[in-house]
Structure 1
């Protein structure tokens, strides 16, 4: 028995609608559109965007032409065993610099100099500040400062969500998404949330990864302990509300329809 004409038209119309609705425009999926215009107004970037905060962990090393003169300004190097056991100062094994904890009031206890305010400075600015104080005692000191607890968390619709340790001072939102395996196909690209702790309070911004002007956002370059959340898109949120057994019901219904068609031939 042939299927009714209106039924065949309905099926054809359904697949046409499905095909049209599945087409996605370039604007919805391509990253960094209009990048040329955004670059034209982009300001010069420096690592001064990354500021030291209370509870940060720092490594600070001081060097000079006469290294013996710089020893009072360095913490003792500790040995770290390969098996994870305990090892004392200057022991054999992998060598590691001790860290300075930035206190709640923003100070570190620095050898020979005493308490030094570190909060609110970039790594370069703190190095220059320490260099100015140390050069009163030794000639041409070299000071290196590094934040070692720089980590970010990436959550939501990404392929590998998690918390990641960062080694680079210049770390961007796309790099964070790259560490997390990029966004899944269900991620909402035009509304990515970045949350940040600043001056004792939480701030946030929503960024559009498809807009090239994102490179001029204050939140494009991430800071320590930032949280990135990728929101699910509308189809994914709608699918979450469906009955978990919907697929089983559809399969049963398709079998019943197939049997009915065979019996009515």
Structure 2
């Protein structure tokens, strides 16, 4: 049975430093604050072995298991051998996670042995992340006449496009081409870290554009782009990295000169993303993050 508290290599998961400060002198550090789905949180590895420093080497997430590997600073060497470091305030390394999907996790610390000390400090704790709100589908379509990509969370809009024949040719030119991706409804429940993705349209370049950056959305409107509302909610990447349990929605751009038309594609397919770059599209990186 998992120990919900830690003694050596002590852990505390929290989104606030206050919870740790209130129990700074406690030997057993309980995990007391709830962790919301996809919300960043910090794990505190508390030193309780009279060593002033802890070195964090790695953290990894495999399925529902989280592993933090660390070691203590080696004792000083004197003329009569090893002796403890002088008393100093303990170093409390902080290990930050961008967020996790809802579920029950096993959070482990593995302390590597050092010097002549053969002790390997290991402990684990159960970590509960609250369930994420229900998601919606975002559909990806392609127009074979204009060679344009388009996304929409509106199933009625999707159905209308793929069922309407072109006036000139009398045949349909819109097709749903992929599984799309997941998001959260603008008016529904969503993780606290999810932000609205605004939808814009420019008749001048005949293109739609989506951005999770509110400032970019406002700026493009000053350039003549028409704001068509917030399409859905997604999670912004942190330093270009999406939190565990989400997938990166990648954005591509092409300007069809000398024609005035341009197009953007939003896809979770990393292989297609690289292929389109080789075809002359510009890769613009992670636009936002979609729940898996």
For normalisation by structure 1, the TM-score amounts to 0.22
Q: Using CA pairs under 8 Å that are at least 6 residues apart, name the structure with larger relative contact order, 1 or 2.
A: 1
Which is richer in strand? 2
TM-score, length-scaled by structure 2? 0.21
